[in-house]
Amino acid sequence: MLMADTDVVIVGAGFAGLYQLHRVRGLGLRARVFEAGSGVGGTWYWNRYPGARCDVESLEYSFSFSPELEQEWEWTERYPAQPEILRYAEHVADRFDLRRDITFDTRVTHATWRDDHWEIRTGGGEELTATYCIFATGCLSVPKEPDLPGVESFAGPTYFTSRWPHEGVDFTGRRVAVIGTGSSGVQSIPVIAGQAAALTVYQRTANYVVPARNAPLDAATQDARKAEYPTYRKLARESLAGLLGTPSEVSALSVTPEERTAAFDQAWERGGLGSFRQSFGDLGLTLEANDTVAEYIRGRIRGIVADPETADALGPKDHPFGTKRPCLDTGYFETYNLPHVRLVDLRKTPIVAIEPTGVRTTDELVEVDDLVLATGFDAMTGALLAVDVRGRDGVRLRDVWAEGPSTYLGLGIAGFPNLFTITGPGSPSVLSNMLVSIEQHVDWITDCLAALAGRTIEADEQAQERWTAHVAEVGAQTLMHHANSWYLGANVPGKPRVLLPYVGGVGPYRQICDDVAAKGYEGFRLTETA
Ligand code: FAD
Ligand code: NAP
């Protein structure tokens, strides 16, 4: 048996990698973390676009593992902005003295299983061996390649929301084009409009956008939560989406139209991601129920946007509410009432090419100074497959997942011993408050490492097949397949169309994982290391 250079290699220093490092150290294991960026924070390190903020409330989107950390950290807003979340990640790194084991500006390029250990190679040429390898590489960390003809020919600056310059961008007096109206576009468009001389927004798919109702966080609210944190954290862990607020069990079709509108009005006023889920329980289950909320939101848009043609184009029609991630906004629809802001509906006039001076559609060339791409990510599998991962007998993860990912619980992969994925495909992950899911996975992996005591662990192929079938089966009971969403890989040309996250809910999923552990890691093979 080889004495590995380190016990654990962790890839990525976002919230997942940071917490995993802290827990692994607690076991007395040696660990190295590699991070492609120059600092900690992952998502909140890279996505510095104007208007970037969390769509889960700060008092919920925060770590629960340390009561001291919970008590000492002061949030300033209901939905914290990117700089504040990044400061929080940096505080966590400093408070728990994590940086000394993190190598920044270093991408892991290869991970190869060699009989009883992982051989890790970095872009800088470093090679090291580790008994265990944990991928904390993020679900939304690899920007989608822009599939826009001629994009490289644009003469002015091109900005990706997901790789925003650290020094910021001043759009004052500039003519700007934004392509993409997912969460990143919806958050950045009102802020860019506040600076630019002219803003043209290119929309392919209209999205459901719900008010965030962001506000400063008053001391009384924060103190009250701090006094009861354990209770609230427990509720979030046992919930379906890792969020507080009880989902309704009432059918949207069981009430009168007036009662339904009144419930939707309340949800709209409450704002936030889970607000409509608290109105009715079947919005995600039947098209008929879903149509009621879809029409309600289209009506709201018509009520805000003055130009009827623009209002109609902004109203989502081609997918049910909730089958793409709903966006939270601050003044998004109002932005289209500004005289210098224009929406181009790409369903009517598609982009033909990006040219050196601007964006050409089938209708016109709009000349712009700056191009902003809010075009999304190669989600959930992109970062894992960007690494050349080779398991037992040299088998490549890229080949194994050619038809879509197959995992056991989103935590392990058959044929890839001693490898763990945090919030991997097949787990609730992106359908949840991610901090809740990250803590759950890290805690489970840490307990597993302790139980292994150096033994080798590998997901059993049959258990993996059963789990993958279960993920698909539960997903098929929802409306998720009715949208060309990144949840299905449908946003990336050529990507297999498979529902990537597990829709069974955070609480039930946690129970399943705990049961697996309690039964001696049922569905995994544990062997003495040779
Ligand atoms: P990440 O934060 O993505 O960190 C992964 C890190 O791994 C990155 O820093 C990356 O550079 C590094 N990495 C990847 N591959 C390699 C490699 N091969 N070698 C070295 N380093 C590598 N979730 C919510 O629950 N609520 C929200 O409101 C919310 N808002 C979001 C807003 C935006 C703009 C985005 C993009 C995502 C948002 N998410 C949100 C999801 C968010 O990604 C998670 O909440 C969380 O931050 C993920 O943490 P992580 O550590 O798992 O991954
Ligand atoms: P996204 O949801 O995938 O949106 C990408 C947008 O770009 C879509 O409107 C897409 O249109 C458009 N697009 C992509 N390629 C295009 C092309 N070739 N031509 C024209 N339009 C194109 O990406 P995102 O906005 O970055 O958000 C991704 C996820 O990150 C979110 O769903 C969420 O989970 C997370 N996020 C959260 C927040 C938050 O509120 N805290 C903020 C940002 C991101 P189509 O829909 O037609 O493909």
The torsion angles phi and psi of 265, rounded to 5 degrees, stand at -60, -45
Which ligand 2 atom is nearest residue 180's CA? 7
Residue 144 is predicted with a pLDDT of 96
**Same domain, residue pair 270 and 330:** yes
In a domain, 297, yes or no: yes
450 and 27 Cβ atoms separated by less than 8 Å: yes
For ligand 2, residues with CB inside 6 Å are 54-55, 140, 147-148, 179-185, 187, 204-205, 325, 328, 346, 351, 374-377, 430, 486, 491
User: How remote is the CA of residue 485 from the centroid of ligand 2, in Å?
Assistant: 9
Taking the CA of 44 as reference, the closest ligand is: 1
- Cβ 382 under 6 angstroms from ligand 1: no
Residue numbers of the domain that contains 420: 6-36+98-142+378-527
User: How remote is the CA of residue 14 from the centroid of ligand 1, in Å?
Assistant: 6
**Same domain, residue pair 103 and 192:** no
pLDDT digit string, tens, across residues 400-455: 999 999 999 999 999 999 999 999 999 999 999 999 999 999 999 999 999 999 89
Query: How many separate domains does the chain show?
Result: 2
User: How remote is the CA of residue 181 from the centroid of ligand 2, in Å?
Assistant: 6
- pTM of whole model > 0.95? yes
User: How remote is the CA of residue 274 from the centroid of ligand 2, in Å?
Assistant: 19
Which of 325, 356, 373 is a domain's end point? Answer: 373
**Same domain, residue pair 516 and 446:** yes
Instruction: Among 23, 32, 434, 437, name the best residue to mutate to test ligand 1's pocket (greatest count of ligand atoms within 8 A of Cβ).
Output: 434
In a domain, 203, yes or no: yes
Chain CA centroid to CA 192, Å: 23
Residue 137 is predicted with a pLDDT of 98
Which ligand 2 atom is nearest residue 491's CA? 48
**Same domain, residue pair 162 and 298:** yes
Looking at this protein, which amino acid is placed at residue 111?
Answer: A
Report the CATH number that the domain containing residue 478 is assigned in CATH.
Answer: 3.50.50.60
**Same domain, residue pair 117 and 253:** no
User: How remote is the CA of residue 180 from the centroid of ligand 2, in Å?
Assistant: 6
Distance separating alpha carbons of residues 437 and 442, to the nearest angstrom? 9
Residue 529 is predicted with a pLDDT of 78
H-assigned helices in 324-422: 332-335, 382-385, 397-400
Taking the CA of 144 as reference, the closest ligand is: 2
Which of 373, 391, 419 is a domain's end point? Answer: 373
**Same domain, residue pair 466 and 382:** yes
Given a cut of 70, the residues of the chain with pLDDT beneath it are 1, 530
- ∠ CA 318-322-328, rounded to 5°: 105
**Same domain, residue pair 312 and 265:** yes
In a domain, 1, yes or no: no
186 and 332 Cβ atoms separated by less than 8 Å: yes
474: nearest Cα among 325, 337, 284 = 284
The 3 state secondary structure assigned to 116-154 is CEEEEEECCCCEEEEEEEEECCCCCCCECCCCCCCHHHC
Atom 24 (ligand 2): residue with closest C-alpha? 376
Residue 3 is predicted with a pLDDT of 87
Atom 14 (ligand 1): residue with closest C-alpha? 137
Residue 466 is predicted with a pLDDT of 98
Residue linked to tokens 């992109």: 382
Taking the CA of 388 as reference, the closest ligand is: 1
Taking the CA of 486 as reference, the closest ligand is: 2
Residue 530 is predicted with a pLDDT of 65
Instruction: Show the tokens assigned to 291.
Output: 């149509």
**Same domain, residue pair 293 and 418:** no
Residue 1 is predicted with a pLDDT of 60
DSSP string covering 80-109: -BHHHHHHHHHHHHHHTT-GGGEE-S--EE
In a domain, 42, yes or no: no
Atom 32 (ligand 2): residue with closest C-alpha? 325
In a domain, 300, yes or no: yes
Which of 345, 373, 401 is a domain's end point? Answer: 373
- Cβ 52 under 6 angstroms from ligand 1: yes
**Same domain, residue pair 384 and 325:** no
Length of the chain: 530
**Same domain, residue pair 438 and 337:** no
- Cβ 236 under 6 angstroms from ligand 1: no
Residue 123 is predicted with a pLDDT of 97
